[in-house]
Amino acid sequence: MRETAFPLPEGLPVPVDDGAAAHLVGMAVPPVRLRSTHGRMVDLASLAAPRTVIYAYPMTGVPGKALPEGWDMIPGARGCTPQSCGFRDHHAELAAFGAELFGLSTQSTDYQREMSERLHLPFEVLSDAEFELADALRLPTFTVEGMRLLKRQTLILRDRHIEHVFYPVFPPNESAAHVLGWLAAHPLST
């Protein structure tokens, strides 16, 4: 596995499976349109790729700006940048499995665009700032400093349905490798 320039601090609390994503497998993808960092609206129910990987994360930090108080002590909160870099580094391998890749958070598209450009992400990041997808699917969320954020989870979509869910995701910097392993073990039928 490739190392990223953003290692995780030691001693982060490990998130536990609270069952908040147990209902997702088999659900139809709702006809929600989300703005992407490429300036377009993406209709999740109309994606054409054989599979789509959507990794949802709480929020990325901004250089020089402090994260919420106690961020590192919230299980599963820390690691959005290393996770994004992992997906960046494995983007070509995911595409070789026929998977289209998107990041997803509740930050604004402008906020996400800064991160996407800074990290040189070759894929789009989607903004669910209005919680349209989160509420339609009842995605796991948490609140910190008055902000409602997505818990870290990865959805694999196939034929407009959720085929598999990784939840909780830990450590986040190994998320892309875990997804690649799952895709290799579950090939698309020819």
Kindly report, residue by residue over 33-50, the tens digit of the pLDDT: 999 999 999 999 999 999
pLDDT band at 1 (very low <50, low <70, confident <90, very high): very low
Residues with Cβ < 8 Å from 76, sequence gap 6 or more?
A: 13, 14, 15, 58, 151, 152, 168, 169, 170, 172
Q: Where are the domains of the chain?
A: 33-185
Superfamily for the 33-185 domain: Glutaredoxin (3.40.30.10)
Concatenated DSSP letters for 155-184? EEEETTEEEEEE-S--SGGGHHHHHHHHHH
Give the CA count within 13 Å in the CB-facing half-sphere of 109: 12
pTM of the shown model: 0.94
Pick from 54, 47, 117, 110: nearest CA to 83: 54
Kindly report, residue by residue over 107-139, the tens digit of the pLDDT: 999 999 999 999 999 999 999 999 999 999 999
pLDDT band at 2 (very low <50, low <70, confident <90, very high): very low
Buried b (16+ CB within 10 A) or exposed e, 111-122: bbbbbbeebebe
pLDDT band at 6 (very low <50, low <70, confident <90, very high): low
Kindly report, residue by residue over 157-168, the tens digit of the pLDDT: 999 999 999 999
